[in-house]
Structure 1
Amino acid sequence: MRGLYEDRTLGPDALDRISDFMQFSLDLCRLDGRVVAERGDFRRNVSADFLRHVRSKEELRQVTGDRVLGEVRYNPDGTLDILGWARPQNDGPALRALTALRAWRLEAFRQRADLGVAEQLLEVDLDYTFNHWRDACFDLWEEIRGHHYYTRLLQLAALVEGAEWLEQKGDAARSRAFRAAADDISRCLDAHLDKDASFYRAFLSDLVQPSTIPDTRRLDIAVVLGVIHAARSGDRHGVLDPKVLSTLLRLERLFMSEYKINQDRAADWGPAMGRYCGDVYFSGGAYYFSTLGVAQFYYLLAESLARLPAIEISLELREMFAGMFDAIPGQAFNTPGGRRKLAEAALKRGEMFMATVRRYTPPTGELAEQFSRDDGVQTSAKNLAWSYAAFITAHAGRNAASRAIDNCR
């Protein structure tokens, strides 16, 4: 919504929708599971054969205070979900804080009479992130309990950007505390490197519940999604991090070998991307948000390369770029011409993944959750909101990259 407002696809009513989202979210934070438990009628309309999936009174009584923010799901009417699920999931408050912070930077948004709602929500989400970043939780796929690269990177970004916001508001003490926590998270993220220091593992097992999941499962598109959602600048845990680039290359090779639709693809198509090795959800096939996420990654890379005043390409980065792009000139990319050529190569790479999405999108423009690894037919959830959102953000990234390249002189 913010992106569509910034590129003027939507008008001022987009800010109304963002404010509605923030008010709804703030109301969710005030829910109390004890009220649901003591009411005692939450099981009344549940069929007998489904009761085993309903949460107990004891569990619901514990959903109070900031524990509400670790809830994975809420009902459309703004009430607590009574079904058992993989809880807690701690990426949500960090993501929401980043959403609010990025909206808060818009001058028109800061002029709104209801700005206080956004600030209250920010306080709640940032405090939760600060207080719970050390906790094990479930991943964004709601499958594995542990410590996750995706969640930690979003928590890092939220605390860094939140510290800047607090400093502007004059709260120097909390700003320093948030920055110190962010430094600790950064060190924890470094622990996600595999033993050969060649890629970032998506998760580390919860020490309370040792994992028996094979190491191959740790190579996961969640790492790439975390990078684009956190949108960090610099060469650590961002698009210029050689280890992130290595992770992406490994994922591309994985899905090129696993998916039949990638075997005979056109030369100007990128490989359709899934989630991780061994995924069996529905067809275990390609995901629109994964493939679009990789397109957005390359657009962000193109923009970063075009905007940097100078680049000294390390041997490690050179090897990564050589594996991604057709040809790399021999000179160091510390001139505008060299930087532009490299940025254009990254943009072209992003276009290849967009071409794959175009190939497997029906004439109606509908985007499901997955498309089959065998024939590209849409599967899984229909009209998935995340698929459409991934297209919007990838398109915005493409526009930003194109503008940056045009200005790279």
Structure 2
Amino acid sequence: MPSFSLTIAASLALVSLFNGVASFPSGNATISSWAPNQSNISLKNMFTSINPPNTARGFLAASLSTSSPNYYYSWTRDSALSYRVLVNQLRSGANSTIDGYLQDYVAFSQNSQSVNTVCNCLGEPKFNPDGSSFSGPWGRPQNDGPAERASTLILYAGSSSNTDLKTIIYKDLDYVTTVWDNQNFDLWEEVNGRHFFTYMVMRRGLLDGVDYATKNGDTDKASSYKAVVANIESRINSFWQSDHITVTIDQASGVSKPSGLDASVLIASNVGSRADGFFTPGSDKVLATAVKIEAAFANLYNINKNKADYLGTAIGRYPEDVYNGTGTSTGNPWFICTNAFAELYYRAIKEWTDAGSVKVTDISQPFFAKFDSSATSGTTYTAGSSEFTSLVNNIANAADQFLSTVHYHQHANGSLSEQYNRDTGYSQGAYDLTWSGASMVTALNAKAGNPDL
């Protein structure tokens, strides 16, 4: 494979960052100036995790860290979401060199579906550098992975002539139709139950599958996937708890989360929703949940107390978290989760702009009141009006406060670890976490008015 140079990385990032919508709010000027180079760095760092020496073709390491912690594995979820970033770059006209890496991903996916696993299922969460499945104790199955992989490969199918794609995609989606309502482990690998995040990415995977199957004339597949989606949507609606979306229902084991608040709900909206208003970033229940999650972290971490005005709230996974990156003590903010807020805000702005307006409801009023003190239930902001412009500018500036927090706490060279310490702000946990880099790119693309598909 050709090496991935900074020049190529720059060409990828610039495709996404400078095709923005002219009327889209620019946000903070400092962050806008920082964004292009940071996107270059994050893309370059992501590629160091793909095909490291002496690994199976298409292996993507969650991190190159091999001890304290050892993340030198390819997680189905992390790989799907990271490779999706590259598919979006390819679709945006980036250098075609990355197609070779995506072909490698297809090969690794095909292998992952066929090797022996402990769970004897497609929900096996992670694989060794040689492509074999991890056989030690772990939270399995994790049934979000096949759905995410299917969505990524369906997106890639529009730019590829690889004939293996259809077989891989249908195998993943057929699996989803059989296990969609089974209890399984969440994306943090700590809780066995039924999870909002998992249902959302399953719904997207199957709806993507409906479109893909219809395009390919496989009407029976399309019909079967669509039928399951209706049941999944009913499940998803049951997660609403009067003022927030709870993270898990029917928990069988694992970490206790009395608050029910978890940043994965917002990540689910960013990566698992479609442009149909169903728990999308700009929808009322998702916005209400964002308010609750931010409030839960505002006074939890010392770095959120008496912080500079230009910084946003540092966001962790969930308030009860005790994982510190190597063991258990106290949880910390994560770059993925802080980026998720910025991306959610910018995706919401794009959603309302495309729709032409947004109406405040009883549910979303607490969110809009943060940015317009006069916002009441029933208030409608029409795109192009001064009220709409003021609102989205305020929200864009708030999004950039989250990005300022990431900028402030990242390594000086622009790399992003897994976590940053709740007291000192210094990075800890796995270094150069690939998913952190991917979340940085998608947040900055959303900021440019071009959120990833």
Q: Give the TM-score of the pair, scaled to structure 1.
A: 0.82
2:320 maps to which residue?
278
Q: How does 1:218-367 map to 2 (within 5 A)?
A: 218-282=260-324, 283-323=330-370, 325-327=371-373, 332-337=380-385, 338-367=387-416
The amino acid across from 1:258 in the alignment is: L
SS at 1:336 equivalent: coil
Residue in structure 2 matching 1:381, options 403, 419, 430: 430
| Two-structure CA RMSD over aligned residues (Å) | 2.0
Alpha-carbon displacement from aligned partner over 1:336-380 (angstroms, at most 9, x marks no partner): 224443333332221111011111123211211110111101111
Alpha carbons of structure 1 residues 367 and 261: separation in structure 2 relative to 1, 3 Å: same
Alpha-carbon displacement from aligned partner over 1:85-144 (angstroms, at most 9, x marks no partner): 111000100111111122223xxx14x3xx212222111111111111011100001111
Q: CA deviation at 1:265?
A: 1.4
Q: How does 1:131-280 map to 2 (within 5 A)?
A: 131-194=178-241, 197-206=242-251, 209=252, 213-216=256-259, 218-280=260-322
Alpha-carbon displacement from aligned partner over 1:148-173 (angstroms, at most 9, x marks no partner): 00000110111111111111112222
- Cα contact 1:305–1:340 (8 A) shared by 2: no
The amino acid across from 1:346 in the alignment is: I
Q: Does 1:3 align with 2:85?
A: no
Higher relative contact order (CA 8 A, sep 6+): 2
1:101 maps to which residue?
154
- Cα contact 2:357–2:380 (8 A) shared by 1: no
Separation in structure 2 between the aligned mates of residue 200 and residue 392 of structure 1, nearest angstrom: 26
1:73 maps to which residue?
126
Separation in structure 2 between the aligned mates of residue 192 and residue 88 of structure 1, nearest angstrom: 21
Separation in structure 2 between the aligned mates of residue 7 and residue 32 of structure 1, nearest angstrom: 37
- Cα contact 1:159–1:178 (8 A) shared by 2: yes
Separation in structure 2 between the aligned mates of residue 272 and residue 256 of structure 1, nearest angstrom: 8
SS at 1:249 equivalent: helix
Separation in structure 2 between the aligned mates of residue 293 and residue 4 of structure 1, nearest angstrom: 19
Separation in structure 1 between the aligned mates of residue 298 and residue 106 of structure 2, nearest angstrom: 40
The amino acid across from 2:131 in the alignment is: G
Structure 1: runs of 5+ lacking an equivalent: 34-59, 403-409
Structure 2: runs of 5+ lacking an equivalent: 1-85, 325-329
Q: CA deviation at 1:319?
A: 3.3
Separation in structure 1 between the aligned mates of residue 395 and residue 443 of structure 2, nearest angstrom: 14
Residue in structure 2 matching 1:390, options 427, 439, 446: 439
SS at 2:331 equivalent: coil
Q: Give the TM-score of the pair, scaled to structure 2.
A: 0.75
**Any runs of at least 4 consecutive aligned residues in structure 1 with deviations exceeding 6 A, and if so which?**
none
The amino acid across from 1:299 in the alignment is: Y
- Cα contact 1:328–1:342 (8 A) shared by 2: no
Q: Does 1:368 align with 2:368?
A: no
Looking at secondary structure, tell me which structure has more helix per residue.
Answer: 1
SS at 1:199 equivalent: coil
Q: CA deviation at 1:7?
A: 4.5
